[in-house]
Homo-oligomer: A and B are copies of this chain.
C-alpha cells in the first residue's frame, strides 16, 4: 500500500509534496495509517487533533495517544479542546454537525495563522459508499449520491481510493496501533448497520464493488456537472438581480421542457420545502406568496420575485429632530437644510413649508390605513392605491420610506410629495430634504 499511496500522490496530488500540510488525526486506524504513510512519503506535515470531549476519559486517552504518535513520528502536534455539546445547543444543530463546524473552523484558523497550504483528512472509499447508502436510506437527490470530493478547496483526501480493508490490513502488517473509534455521534447506529450488515452483502455479490462504485460516482459527478452547466447557461435569460433579491421570468421558465426541475435547481438553496406550492406560483394570481424560513417567492405579473422575508416593520422607525442637518440611516442619508427658494426638483428631493411641520419628523414604512394628498392632484388617496397605480411590487412597497409629520404623510420618499406641506407662497420658510443612497 505504501507504493500505491506514493504513486497516487504523484499522479493525483503532486502539489502536496511541496506544501506545508496539516493532517487531521482522530486516533482511528484511517488517520493513524495516513500519518504513517505521510511520514514514509517524506511529506512536510503537522498533526491536528480535536478533543470534542464527548466520551470523557476515552476522549482524553485518544488525545494522549495522538500526542504519543506525534512524538514517535517526530512531527509537530496541535490539540484543541471543544465543548461540543454546548456549541451544539447554542447553535441549535446536531452534535455531529457541531463537531464538524468546530473542527473545520479550527483547521481554518490554524492554516491561516501558521500558513498551512492544505488540510489532509483520512476519508476512504468505504466512507463514500456508506454515505451513499445512508443518503439512500434517508432520501436524497443527485447531490447526495456524488460523494466526498478528493480535492475540496484546500482540504485533500488522499486515501479516498483505498478501502477500509486495505487500510486495516496495512496497519496489521506493520503492527501500527490505533484507537477504536466509538464516536460518529448520532450517525453511529445508522452507519454501523450499513457498514456491518449491508456493505458486506454487496461486496459478496461483487468483490470489485468499491472499484466499480468509484466509477459510478465519477459518472454521477459528471451528470451533476452537466446539470450545473445547464443551469449556468440558461440562468442569465431567466434570472435578474434586483434591489430586493432576484426576479425570475415566468415566460422563459415555462418554455423550458422541465420547468419544475429548473425552478428547484434555482431555488434549492433558499430553504423552501413546499415545492408543490412553489411550482403552482407560476400560474397563480399576482400577489400570491410562498415562504421559506428566510425567503419569500412572490408572484408579480410576469415574474417571480425572490426576496428575503420582510423584517418587522414596527422596529423600523427613525426620527428627524428640529435643527438636524445630516442623518445617516441604514437605508441612506437624509440632508435637511433651509433654502431661500425652490430649485429644480428631483425625485429624491422635497421642498416643505417648514411652518406646517411638527418635529420630530418620523421616517417609517407604510401601513394599511395610510392616506395622503398627492402633490399636483386634488383630494386624497389611499397609499395602497397609489402603490398599485404605480405597479409597485411587494418588495418595492415594503422598501418604500414614508416621511411623516405627526400622523400626516409629508413625503413618499423618492416618489411623491404631499400637497398639505407644499410651498404656496415664496415668503414661506422653506425646508429642503434630500435623500441619497
Query: A: which residues have CB within 8 A of B?
Result: 132-133, 136-142, 145, 190, 193-194, 197-198, 201-202, 204-206, 209, 212-213, 215-216, 219-220, 222-227, 229-234, 256-258, 260-262, 264-265
Contacts and interface: CB of A to CB of B under 8 A. Distances in A.
B137 A202 contact: yes
B213 A139 contact: yes
Contacts of A262: 226
B205 A190 contact: yes
A227 B216 contact: no
Given A141-B220, A141-B223, 5 more contacts: A139-B212, A139-B216, A145-B145, A226-B261, A233-B234
A142 B202 contact: no
Given A190-B205, A205-B190, A136 B229 contact: no
A226 B230 contact: yes
Contact of A137 (B209, B223, B265): B209
Sorted from nearest, which 6 A-B pairs have the closest CB atoms? A139-B212, A230-B230, A141-B219, A222-B261, A142-B223, A225-B258
Contacts of A141: 216, 219-220, 222-223
Contacts of A198: 198, 201-202
Contacts of A204: 193
Nearest to A257: B229
Given A142-B142, A205-B137, A223-B142, A229 B256 contact: yes
A231 B225 CA distance: 12
A194 to B, nearest CB: 8
Contacts of A257: 225, 229, 232
Nearest to A211: B139
Given A229-B256, A256-B229, A222 B264 contact: yes
A262 B226 CA distance: 8
Contact of A138 (B206, B229, B231): B206
A231 B58 CA distance: 54
Contact of A201 (B139, B145, B193, B224): B193
B213 A136 contact: yes
Contacts of A226: 226-227, 230-231, 258, 261-262, 265
